[in-house]
């Protein structure tokens, strides 16, 4: 009876079922446990095809992942473009050798894989008469399940960004917080993201050689990646330490807020909070959103 059921299931899989069947890969081995005999001339191994529905979902997942990656890269490019315009206008010169702040920003932009053409366009844009005056602002908010949010904004129209941020938070069930009521629960840290596994002893010796006193190495969010946290004032020196051991390719440097007391939200609250974050990150004036969720 068991052999008959197995034979029927195998036949159905090999016949190319409906796109709405549960997708799975089934392998028929050379010797079936239900066969009375076992010979060397058994049928060759056959693998059932994945259903079109499964392949469609896989393509959708890949497209969504690529879309998020592209959006994140666009955010980084836009952020440095606006910062470069600010630096040129405040420093009074488009020459990085005469404008130290601009020189440091160009260096950081290149380290974060911002195209040279984007950098040059931003410098040129800053010298035009109608170039906007960008200013930075930080919004603090509460989400679901004890979550808190820090919203970093860089805009040439504070009234617009203020209205957009408030609307995105309110419409998705969040609550805008008073200034300072959230920030005190975070530490500002220098952050260097490295797309490879790092030997802690090698990095520690390099950090000492570059006069870095504060270093914390952790695993990155993605497999085979690393993140180094340091004092904000030592971020540049820490990046030089990373370069000295040959890990600068693909490495990214930034400042970030790290929660002193992370919270683990329920799955439902987590999804709601991510809805708030997604809505905020879709705004052109919002450069990044930080939170205290550990899950």
User: What does the pLDDT read at residue 18?
Assistant: 42
User: What does the pLDDT read at residue 104?
Assistant: 87
pLDDT digits (tens, 9 = 90+) for 37-62: 444 444 445 444 544 544 444 444 45
Q: How would residue 147 be classed by pLDDT, with cut points 50, 70 and 90?
A: very high
In sign, the C-alpha dihedral spanning 118, 119, 120, 123 is: positive
Residue 293: count other Cβ atoms within 10 Å of its Cβ. 21
């Amino acid at each position: 009876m068991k052999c008959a059921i197995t034979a029927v299931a195998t036949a159905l899989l090999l016949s190319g079922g409906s796109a709405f069947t549960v997708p799975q890969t089934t392998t028929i081995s050379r010797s079936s446990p239900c066969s009375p005999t076992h010979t060397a001339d058994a049928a060759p191994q056959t693998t059932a095809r994945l259903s079109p529905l499964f392949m469609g979902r896989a393509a959708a997942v890949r497209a969504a992942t690529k879309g998020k990656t592209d959006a994140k890269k666009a955010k980084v490019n836009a952020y440095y473009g606006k910062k470069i315009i600010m630096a040129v206008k405040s420093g009074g010169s488009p020459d990085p050798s005469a404008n130290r702040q601009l020189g440091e920003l160009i260096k950081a932009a290149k380290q974060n894989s911002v195209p040279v053409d984007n950098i040059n366009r931003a410098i040129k844009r800053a010298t035009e008469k109608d170039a906007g005056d960008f200013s930075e602002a930080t919004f603090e908010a509460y989400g679901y399940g004890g979550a808190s949010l820090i919203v970093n904004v860089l805009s040439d129209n504070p009234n617009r960004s203020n209205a957009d941020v408030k609307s995105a938070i309110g419409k998705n069930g969040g609550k805008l917080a008073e200034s300072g009521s959230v920030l005190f629960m975070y530490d500002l840290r220098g952050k260097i993201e490295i797309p490879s596994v790092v030997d802690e002893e090698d990095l520690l010796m390099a950090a000492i050689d570059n006069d870095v006193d504060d270093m914390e190495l952790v695993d990155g969010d993605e497999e085979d990646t690393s993140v180094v946290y340091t004092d904000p004032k030592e971020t540049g020196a820490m990046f030089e330490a990373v370069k000295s051991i040959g890990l600068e390719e693909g490495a990214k440097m930034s400042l970030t807020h790290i929660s002193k007391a992370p919270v683990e939200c329920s799955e439902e609250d987590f999804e709601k909070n991510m809805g708030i974050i997604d809505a905020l990150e879709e705004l052109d004036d919002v450069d990044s959103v930080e939170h205290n969720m550990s899950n």
